[in-house]
Amino acid sequence: MVFKIGNLKLKNRFLLAPMLEPNDVAFRLLCKKVGCGLTYTGMVSPLSKQNMMLDDKPAVQLFGNSIKGVASFIKKYDKDVSLWDFNLGCPSKLSKKMGHGACMHDDVEMIEMILKVMRGATKKPVTIKLRKSGKAIEIARMAEKYVDAIGIHARTVGQGYSGDVDYDFALKIKEAVSVPVIYSGAPKGVPPTWMASADADKVGNVNDKYRRILKDFDFVFVGREAIGNPGIFARLNGKKSGVGFKDYLKLAKKYGLFFRQVKYQAMNFTKGVAGAKKLRLGLIGAKSVEDVERVVLNNKLV
Ligand SMILES: Cc1cc2nc3c(=O)[nH]c(=O)nc-3n(C[C@H](O)[C@H](O)[C@H](O)COP(=O)(O)O)c2cc1C
């Protein structure tokens, strides 16, 4: 079966959620290899001079509160990108200070200007990722003119990344628009209301939870559950995982990723691994990619 966001065909409905630190090119490639429908980068400023590595042909998420640099950034990378997303969900202190992400919902006019520029700069699909707010439904309705899908993480700025996801609010977004809606915010952390309801028995394991969400929404973002665990995309598609840190390391070396990033990902991959404590202690002392490799091989973290 083929699923579509605008003119982009996807093999399935499980997407890697935009995440700034975990979603480096090596990690994204692994997710894609084992069946992720579409990978998103973390948020990037169109004014950034960093060289984007886009071999997985990801969705690239932009953030900002002006149109400055948007069109030229899109033109620069457009051929290597599957679609362009605009971040309306970041709740960080910096977002508050600078007035972007979830902290620019009051400036619907500026959001519309940015979406107009994005739409005009590319023939690729455009998406937005929203957070719950008093303006989110108005923004979703306005955005429909410009975008091919809308993501919703139904927590407020104040909630950050914890506390109940307002599943009903996400459903309101779905009802308000006719473009596909991508659900975000489950199942790690405090579960959305339906998980605590009579349905809870039927959604015992993680795969069932995501599938339950896909009864109500068109696509689902897999976020924290995928960190250090790209194999989740294989399992969600009914296959065996078959990828581990060694595969990540190979790619990280190929792309020359920085030691700090490799060490951070090694820590992520220790989640739920037997002997994780010893492994982490070894990793804490690592001072180079080679150190990380040695610790990993010694401890059979694959
Ligand atoms: C480490 C981390 C980094 C994130 N970075 C971004 C980002 O750059 N852009 C964005 O829209 N959301 C970002 N998010 C939010 C996720 O995309 C997602 O909406 C949120 O984690 C809830 O989904 P989950 O419960 O599946 O993790 C980030 C989340 C985490 C944990």
Structure tokens at 20: 């700034």
For the chain, the distance separating the N- and C-terminal CA atoms, rounded to the nearest angstrom, is 32
Decide: 119 in ligand 1 pocket, CB within 6 A.
Answer: no
The pLDDT of residue 301 is 63
The pick from 39, 104, 155, 224 for probing ligand 1's pocket by mutation, whose C-beta has the most ligand atoms within 8 angstroms, reads: 224
Q: Whose CA is nearest to atom 15 of ligand 1?
A: 19
Tens-digit pLDDT profile for residues 192-223: 454 444 444 444 566 777 877 898 999 999 99
CA angle 141, 146, 152 (to 5 degrees): 50
Are the CB atoms for 66 and 41 separated by under 8 Å? no
Q: How high is the pLDDT of residue 186?
A: 73
- Segment 48-51 long-range contacts (CB within 8 Å, at least 24 positions apart): 48/73
The answer to whether residues 184 and 198 touch, using CB atoms and an 8 Å cutoff, is: no
Q: If you measure from the C-alpha of residue 95 to the centroid of ligand 1, how many angstroms do you get, rounded to a whole number?
A: 14
Q: How far, in Å, CA of 53 to CA of 285, rounded?
A: 29
Q: If you measure from the C-alpha of residue 24 to the centroid of ligand 1, how many angstroms do you get, rounded to a whole number? A: 14
Quick one: CA torsion of 155, 157, 162, 164, rounded to 10 degrees? -30
- 43: its two tokens: 């948020």
pLDDT class of 273 with cuts at 50, 70, 90 = confident
Question: How many whole angstroms separate alpha carbon 177 and alpha carbon 4?
Answer: 16
Kindly report the pTM of this predicted structure.
0.94
Closest-CA residue to 152 (of 120, 117, 116, 183)? 183
Domains with residue ranges and CATH for the chain: 3-236 (3.20.20.70), 245-299 (no CATH)
Q: What is the pLDDT of residue 199?
A: 47
Per-residue pLDDT tens digits for 93-130: 999 999 999 999 999 999 999 999 999 999 999 999 99
Atom number in ligand 1 closest to CA 101: 11
The mean of the pLDDT values for the chain is: 91
Helices (H), ranges, 44-166:
70-77, 93-98, 108-121, 136-143
Which ranges in 124-258 belong to alpha helices (H)?
136-143, 167-176, 206-216, 232-236, 245-254
Q: Between these two residues, 273 and 284, which has the higher pLDDT value? A: 284
